[in-house]
Chains A and B, each alone.
Chain A
Amino acid sequence: MPKIKAGVIVFPGTNCDRDTVAALTQTAGCSVDAVWYETKSLRQYQLIVIPGGFSYGDYLRAGALARFSPVMEALQEYTDRQGLVLGICNGFQILLEAMMLPGAMQRNTSLKFICRDVFVRVERNDTPFTLLYKRGDVLKIPIAHADGNYYGSGQTLADLEHSRQVVFRYTDAGGKTTGQSNPNGSLDNIAGLCTPAGNILAMMPHPERAADRVLGSDDGKKIFLSIKKALA
């Protein structure tokens, strides 16, 4: 089987690009390019990942400046053709600012940067990113953010529910959505969203930091393996 050609977008201030490249290479055997933010075409790729970090120093709002980079026009063209995109953490924030997904991120209710393992429940396994999980699987994956408090209007939340766009929710270890298991104040415990067509997944937890047992958990590994299977 030919290797999947993946691109990991690097903005000034991105800092999870190398971990993401390693996870894609080691778990899914992808052939990965780090793609600089000035790139104008993404046509050669089967998968694009927007990794975590602090693009443009999170100035103004997380993701607000990255959204206007040249590569984002190429990304729009790429997604118009239903290309697969995985946005992780800052990648989620950028996709929201670019209005490729609805809603916005606010400061965590604790006002603190939170870096620790959390539990998320898989709400959908019929996306290219989650097809190797079972619905209801509970994953231990770390988060690392200050602005992960998802907000959408009442109408937005209803639309997300209606189009089944919530892919991950923060839960306790037993898979229950409780106030206490919500680390950042996200409405409806939302930790990950996809587009109605399912080709874009954005998530705050970092699967690349949970892709090998040696990291404390390999619960995120199946995200990369699912993508591999979906593209096979």
Chain B
Amino acid sequence: MHDYSAFALLRRGLTGHRGWRPAWRKARPKPAYDAVIVGGGGHGLATAYYLARRHGMRRIAVLEKGWLGGGNTGRNTTAVRSNYFYPESVALYDLALRLYEGLSRELNYNVMLSQRGMLIAAHTPAQMEICARIANAMRLNSVDGELMSGEAAVRRIPLLNQEAGARYRCLGGIWQGRAGVARHDAVAWGYARAASDLGVDIVEGCTVTDLLTEGGRVTGVETDMGTIRAERVGLAAAGATPALAAKAGVRLPIHTYALQAFVSEPVKPCLDTVLLYLGTGTYLSQSDKGELVIGGGLDRVPTHGQRGNLPAQETVLSGLLEMFPPFGQLRLLRQWAGVVDVVPDSSPVIGPAGPEGLYLNCGWGTGGFKAIPAGGWLLAHLMATGTHHEISRPFDLGRFAEGRLIDEAAGAGIAH
């Protein structure tokens, strides 16, 4: 592995920055692998990395129909957090957060994790009671969470609208100090580089058109670059997963919706935390470049088109301006959307798909980015051992027939 370090930067800098090599190999697919992962976003790349790093597997390919990290990994609002309600969810999302905390060092790639804290803000006494309940649940589940007072919240976020006539005057909320943001592209690129160094073939521009099955077992994939046989196939393709799984007769509890995000023009530092407002559903943070990164709830029309509709924009932005009237002066630079795979209980599906040799990591809905290290860790465990990790077991597809839903619609904190 070629190390990135301050010394390497200095050395290259003195020689005109010539000699930097591409971070990962552009591979052509081989005819057969031990493991093939469909989807070259954060989850798929992390899966490949952990399969190679933790489980010693070497013949691994990641197949991506577009470019690396060009789906939801490149379209989210970069928040990482584990402020969930149920023990199963906290175990899952805090595994991800703990792995994020060591990720830059592990990958030798700066993912720019900034644990600037996150406030889930409430504006009614009833919401404050719900916040107290979630904060208590977080503490019972051994995760840092506390109930923050209105005064403390305004000290932390002075621009919050506290006028006497404010419609959603902040009463406080749930504070998680370990939450924050990470650089989304760097997470995909860092995993890709580390996986490539361990021998993983990363194939971009390769569309999977069918799953090969023999006697009920999945034995590979058909692609526009030819047939690729595989001992195990993992699907980590977000909104494209239902159509892929259907090729093996597997039906999933997924609806696909567009989730939009926005960035403003850059301004001087004015918000040094992540804020989610329960009253408006709008959430935001400020990027290192000074842009406000803004998100909100789903568009309500099921779609596979990666663009948002106007009513959702109006809801998100009017919520923003109610919270921060001065931001009405800002111009938006960009607006975009990703296709998210939403499950009825707002929790992911991780586990065997049914047919032998086929494994799922999908259903992350609006919250996949924060979970990337855990999703990869757990899918790798499944594909390497054929059995669940104790953290992924509750998220098995079987929970729908057994009635063991993990309903995080409220705990996840945003409108699903």
Do they bind each other? no
* Chain B residues within CB distance 8 Å of chain A: none
* Chain A residues within CB distance 8 Å of chain B: none
